[in-house]
Each structure stands twice: as C-alpha cells, then as structure tokens.
Chains A and B, each alone.
Chain A
C-alpha cells in the first residue's frame, strides 16, 4: 500500500542539517516502539530490496545499536548508533557512524547526529527528524562509497542558482 501521508523534507545548508518530518496514522506508543525496538526497526529501516540486520541494540543512554544494511547480493554496510539522550515517547538523540561488522568506526567518514522528536496529533503521531553532519567532505566520501545514507549539505546558494536558471 502506498501512503499519501505528507512528508516534509528540507535541507538547511547553513547548519548542514537535513530535516525530515512525517505524520503516521498510529498511536504514539506504537510509533515509539517501531523506532526503538530492534525487531520492529529491522522490518522497515532498510529501503527494499535492502534488509536491515541489527546485531545488537541497547536502547539506553550510552547504549549502542550495531546494524547492517544488507544488499540483495549479500553485501553488508555496517553502522553504529550511540544513544546520547532518551526521553521516552518524546525524543531521542544518537550519533551514527559507519563501521565494520565488529563496530570499529571508519573514522574517515565522520558521524552524523540525529535528533528525533515524537509528538501526538489526535489519533496520529508526528515524527520530526534532524540529521546533522560535520562537513561536506564527509558527505563526499560517503558518496564515493556509493552508499547514499547520512548526509549534509552546504550548497551555499547553489540551489538558488539552479532555481534562477530553470
């Protein structure tokens, strides 16, 4: 089933942040579980045909989630989340770093910093995500890896130029 729920997607160039906001026709507690329970998270986190495979997940402040995105060919791209702050059913924050299967970070790629807000809106739930990256250089390397996950942008007016040239 294809959803018609509106998604907001924007890039804040100055702050090197991507903002994604989406409404879900579900209760706050179910949406919270879907984001914080490894078994449920693996059901939807990887865009098909990729599969998400969580090796371990300790959802607590200071805890980590080590997981891989697995391609149909079986290729694994590992990343580790480190939870820095958790306010149940309201917000959690974590870093995300590419790593190997043992969780040893690939320091070349830096980290992204996620801030995820949950709020009730009648019968639905709004999830508001801000993903911040350290620098564009990191983005460049991620692109070279061919893995389009994790993101920052400081396109500095380039979008404006593109608009003007359209």
Chain B
C-alpha cells in the first residue's frame, strides 16, 4: 500500500523516529529503546514509515538498519512552497482589485 508522506508526519512518535534516523541508521530495537512504548507499537510505526517510502533499509548480518530517505522529506518543503504560492497569487490578484478600486475613486 502506497501512503502519503503526510501520514508519516501526522503522528508524534513517527516524527520522533524520523528525527532519530535522520543522521544514523538504527535497528528497530535501537529505535524502540528510545520510546516508552512497546516494541510492537514501534514496529507498527516503522511499517507505516516504510509504506510512505521514507526508509532506507540496510541489512548488516542478521540485523536490519533503517535510515531516513532525506529526499522524500523534501516533498514536504515542496508542499509548503505550493501553499506559499497560493498566497502570492491571491495577493497579486488583490493588488489588481485594489488598483481598480482606487481608479474608480479617482473617477468620482
């Protein structure tokens, strides 16, 4: 199942996991140790993050290490940029409206 990246950041534990694995690759056990929650709960979060395609998996011996795919996080930046553009466009339109209001005033 392909999930949206925003599902990944919708949960505080998942956000914390993303922060943890942003700089170093960690095993699920090492990640779970950082949280006062069950190993199962953490596994579930990891599964969701994986489905969001945010995790880089590396196998070292019998252990799996997870690290954040940083490029994916840039989608969020991209989204913010879109949101900003909506406002810019809206305000450019408002400038035009205000100019028209002003010229009408001058006609009177």
Contacts and interface: CB of A to CB of B under 8 A. Distances in A.
Interface of A: 1-3, 5, 7, 9, 11, 18, 20, 22, 24-27, 30-31, 33-34, 40, 43-48, 136-137, 139-140, 143-144, 148-149, 151, 153-159, 161-162, 165
Interface string B64-108: 000010100110110110111111111111111111011001000
B4 to A, nearest CB: 6
Contacts of B61: none
Nearest to B105: A30
A157 to B, nearest CB: 5
A109 B91 CA distance: 26
Contacts of B41: none
Given A9-B84, A9-B87, A139 B97 contact: no
Interface residues of B, dominant DSSP:
helix
A25 B15 contact: no
A30 B98 contact: yes
B60 interface: no
Interface in B37-78: 68, 70, 73-74, 76-77
Which of the listed residues B16, B22, B94, B96 has the most CB atoms from chain A within 10 Å of its own CB? Answer: B94
A140 B18 contact: no
Contacts of A24: 91, 94-95, 98
How many of chain B's residues touch chain A, expressed as a range? 35 or more
A129 to B, nearest CB: 9
A11 B87 CA distance: 14
Q: Which 4 A-B pairs have CB atoms at the shortest separation, nearest pair first? A: A44-B93, A26-B98, A47-B89, A44-B94
Contacts of A158: 9, 15, 18-19, 73, 76
A151 B83 contact: yes
Interface in B2-33: 4, 6-7, 9-10, 12, 15-16, 18-19, 22-23
A97 B78 CA distance: 24
